[in-house]
Amino acid sequence: MTYDIVLGAMLFGTVQDERTSFEILDHFVEAGGTWIDTANCYAFWEDPSGFGGQSEELLGRWLARRPGVRDRIRISTKVGCEPTEAGRFPETAEGLSASVVKNGIEGSLRRLGVEYVDLYWAHMEDRRTPLAETVVAFDELVSAGTVGALGCSNYAIWQVERAREIARVNGMTGFTAVQQHVTYLRPRPGTRPTVAHRFGAVSDEVVDYLECDPEMSLWAYTPLLSGRYTRAEKPLPPEYEHPGTERRLAVLDEVAAETGTTRNHVVLSWLAGGSPAAVPIVGVSSVAQLREALDGVALVLTAEQRARLDAAT
């Protein structure tokens, strides 16, 4: 599966009001965008109730007011992270049992007001539930026609392969996409990005796995570090405070100057044209930010520029 960019709808309906969210969605479609990413738990940490669903509900209202748009877009949503008790996450996360997966897709379809979703994700691994139970539950959704393709997010890569092997051996539909945190900067060795789950950050092992299996695609969440590449009022997290960051930012600035663009443009282009290619999921709060993101994935770096960016350590 090949995609160029995905619009992240995580904060639509909570932090982002309906009018602004609709403007961003409309512009995305008008610009030729197709994929929109959400989850059943978005954004429980922003809503007074302590539970999610607001993003899917907003998307449902937008689709209802835009006849014909459903045929032009693809919807990606997730199950597994919604808390079962307000204020107690991750210890009360719903998990990935067969009943949770079944109820999860039914709830998502209802909130979205659609009959199917194009890509359904296991949001994070659940070791309380046998992996085979989760694999079977997801396969049943594909067989029923309510889900097109399957992906997993924030999984240890050995769990990804084990789940896919269960599916292969039993003639079931398996995962063909992973959604992890990927960006240009690298955290200090021995740390992990604060934006990622335990297994949420792409490692060399994940890269190697994806390069060896062209069937698998990579979706990159928080690729721009929530604006920290370009916004002085948002400093980088402590794990990026090391000499390697200074060297990579220096090369990033060189390439941005050469191309007449910004750090954000270069990061998105670097991700989209890398090996393996990563599909950036961009969460934006304005149409202007969306335009910048679209321009970023459209930017073509030269082989020399890409090599220079890769070599900065």
Task: Give the helix, strand, coil percentages of the chain, each rounded to 5.
Answer: 40, 15, 45
Using DSSP's 3-state secondary structure scheme, residue 229 falls into coil
For residue 177, give both structure tokens: 């996409």
Active site residue 42: yes
Active-site hit among 3, 42, 120, 155: 42
Between CA 294 and CA 31 the distance in angstroms is: 8
Query: Which residue is listed with tokens 């980088």?
Result: 236
Let me know how long the chain is: 313
Between CA 20 and CA 12 the distance in angstroms is: 9
| Helix extents (H) in 43-174 | 54-64, 98-112, 131-144, 157-169
Neighbours of 192 (CB within 10 A): 16
Amino acid in the structure at residue 95: G
For residue 58, give both structure tokens: 């907003």
The pairs formed by 198-201 with CB atoms below 8 angstroms and a separation of 24 or more are: 198/154, 199/125, 199/154, 199/155, 199/156, 199/157, 199/159, 200/124, 200/153, 200/154
Q: How far is CA 226 from CA 235, 237, 264, 282, in A?
A: 10, 11, 11, 9
Half-sphere exposure of 235 (CA within 13 A, CB side): 5
Between CA 135 and CA 245 the distance in angstroms is: 39
As annotated, the active-site residues are 42
